[in-house]
Structure 1
Amino acid sequence: MFFLKENCIHNCIIIGSGPSGYSAAIYAARYGLNPILFSGPNPGGQLTYTNDIENYLGFPESIDGISFMDNCKKQALRFNTKILNKTINKVILSNDIGGTHRVFFGKSQDYLDSIGIIIATGSSSSFLGIKKEKELVGLGISFCATCDGFFHKEKDVAVVGGGDSALEETLYLSKICKKVYLLVRKNYLKASKILQKKVFEKKNVEINFSSIVTEIIGNDFLEGIKIFEKKNKTIRTVLLSGLFVAIGHIPNTDIFKNQINLDNKGYIIVKKGSTITNKPGVFAAGDVMDINYRQAITSASTGCMAAIDLDKYLSSL
């Protein structure tokens, strides 16, 4: 078996390497907890798909997502965080106060034991599942209007989805874009009535029911889309600057099912105003427990909170 220190029980293992994971690592390290961070299958998280970050505090000039997350990693390393470029594939979480939790990784089921665990595995955006979609993420295709909407100011964009998130994206974009096409697969909206009312009142929003994106146009960047309209069974081409996919997020919590309390959408449930889960010594930070905001800055703040909560927990033992 693989051990950083033979037969050692660690204080802090962090699962995930987005803003919440690195923030937790920095604070945990400064508290002397000697954190070990597992970077996971997508080091840096969803921000690595973002070309320009302009709304993160302290960056008056924009910075690309890969560089930003690289800076976060360097800062964590500066405080002697041990970073393992491996993915946790199984956990056994203790129910006992002061109990030891075990995390497994690698094909040979190596494992580490720790009294404290910070889960920062984030969430994954749901994709449409069509060609060129993943290749053009950050090159016209986005999953966050507040992150990337500014780059499409006074241009035509489209939003895919019919729930609250899609309509919130649409309302935000309608303030800065020339025109917003709202593409809804069904013949009705699932969003709250108040959001529907606001969208219907927007003169620069065109709502297209029973519409499906069938093709993405563009090679190096998004140029437009083809839309299949089920009602009249026709396909039309729309030229666009941006396509915002808002058909939901999936929290990365599969390995925690039956191990920790999750809500009906799979997000980790934490004690209000904290990062404390139902398992002693286990804390959750970032998008994996945040269904509302999902911003880099809020993710980083909960990473800080998780480290502080863990330090308090360890100090009480």
Structure 2
Amino acid sequence: MQEYDVIIIGAGPGGLTAALYASRANLQVLILDRGIYGGQMNNTAEVENYPGFDSILGPDLSEKMYHSATQFGAQYQYGTVTAIEDHQTYKLVKTSDEEFKAGTIVIATGSEYKKIGVPGENEYSGKGVSYCAVCDGAFFKGEDVVVIGGGDSAVEEGVYLTQLAKSVTIIHRRDQLRAQPILQKRAFANDKINFIWNADVQAISGEDNKVTGVQYRDKVSGEQKQIAASGVFIYVGIQPNTEMFRDLPILDDAGWIITDERMQTPVPGIFAVGDVRKKDLRQITTAVGDGGLAGQHAYDYLQTLTD
């Protein structure tokens, strides 16, 4: 069984930064990921809000972060983690193929936006379909956009988009919003926001590799309709990738990992960073900050095992 000082589960920006800090402290580091390094950055056409770059392609930023993270000896390996066992003085990481031992663990498995599952959603992801207004709103300055959803995130992000877009139309499957009253009040008072109620989204249409509109069915009349739009922002929920950690006492009721300001979970020696944490802002920059803290405090924790 291979042994490491630190095993990092997930190779997104948070995990890669943790690997950089931990390996720079001369620790033996293994990064495990079930896919390509970079995580959701690889699905981002352009990143315009990462310091040091006016604009950079998501895959290019992933490549740069990977080379930075591995320059001090951190190893990268494909692996689907199925469980972590806490043996106090060491942790056992189980994958679908093998097992590893480590003094400490950093979980960086991220989260996933729930999809509506209609034609065009996957095809135009990153080409007009987005799940993050803060990330992609600037690409639609002066354009007409659609927001799908009726909860807090949908309404809040819809209001945010009015600072950039020409108009924002919120499409909701019910006849009233589920968002907090204060958020609803702001949305109804905003002249740039329109509403389509009782709408069942059928498809996202496009041409020339970009979104052109949304097709939906009026649930009251049964009529098929379409609205033109350059961008579609989908907010029907987000879920953490934590199913494999259910046996550890580190999750809240919704499955998010709970940490303190040092990125330490309730289990000593297990840290968590990035979008898998219960947090407000899920961005590359915040994941990188989390990763730096976790990498440093993983080193600090290992020192306590030898004292």
**Is TM more than 0.5 here?**
yes
- Matched with 1:172 is 160
Does residue 206 of structure 2 align to residue 212 of structure 1?
no
Q: Residues 1-40 of structure 1: matches in 2 within 5 Å?
A: 3-4=1-2, 9-40=3-34
Give the SS at the match of 1:48: helix
Q: How many Å apart are 1:231 and its aligned residue?
A: 2.2
Does residue 182 of structure 2 align to residue 189 of structure 1?
no
Q: Residues 54-133 of structure 1: matches in 2 within 5 Å?
A: 54-59=48-53, 61-94=54-87, 96=88, 99-106=89-96, 109-133=97-121
Distance in 1 (CA, whole Å) between partners of 2:253 and 2:197 is 28
Distance in 1 (CA, whole Å) between partners of 2:138 and 2:294 is 31
Give the SS at the match of 2:302: helix
Distance in 1 (CA, whole Å) between partners of 2:45 and 2:150 is 26
Q: Percent identity?
A: 35
- Give CA-to-partner distance per residue, 1:132-161, whole Å, 9 cap, x none: 211211100011111111111000000111
Give the SS at the match of 2:109: coil
Query: What RMSD, in angstroms, separates the aligned Cα atoms of the two structures?
Result: 1.3
- Matched with 1:50 is 44
Tell me, yes or no, if the aligned pair for 2:258 and 2:278 is still in contact at 8 Å: no
Q: How many Å apart are 1:42 and its aligned residue?
A: 5.2
- Matched with 1:267 is 256
- Give CA-to-partner distance per residue, 1:244-291, whole Å, 9 cap, x none: 0111111000000022321121100112x2211111100000000033
Q: How many Å apart are 1:90 and its aligned residue?
A: 2.4
Distance in 2 (CA, whole Å) between partners of 1:16 and 1:275 is 15
Which structure's residues are more often strand, by fraction?
2
Give the SS at the match of 1:291: coil
Q: How many Å apart are 1:227 and its aligned residue?
A: 1.5
Distance in 2 (CA, whole Å) between partners of 1:201 and 1:22 is 43
Structure 1 residue ranges without an equivalent (≥5): none
- Give CA-to-partner distance per residue, 1:198-240, whole Å, 9 cap, x none: 1111101111222121011125221111021212222211111
Does residue 233 of structure 2 align to residue 249 of structure 1?
no
Q: How many Å apart are 1:51 and its aligned residue?
A: 0.6
| Matched residues, number | 304
Give the SS at the match of 1:124: strand
Q: Residues 133-148 of structure 1: matches in 2 within 5 Å?
A: 133-148=121-136
Distance in 2 (CA, whole Å) between partners of 1:142 and 1:176 is 15
- Give CA-to-partner distance per residue, 1:5-37, whole Å, 9 cap, x none: xxxx32100000111000100001111112100
Tell me, yes or no, if the aligned pair for 1:15 and 1:40 is still in contact at 8 Å: no
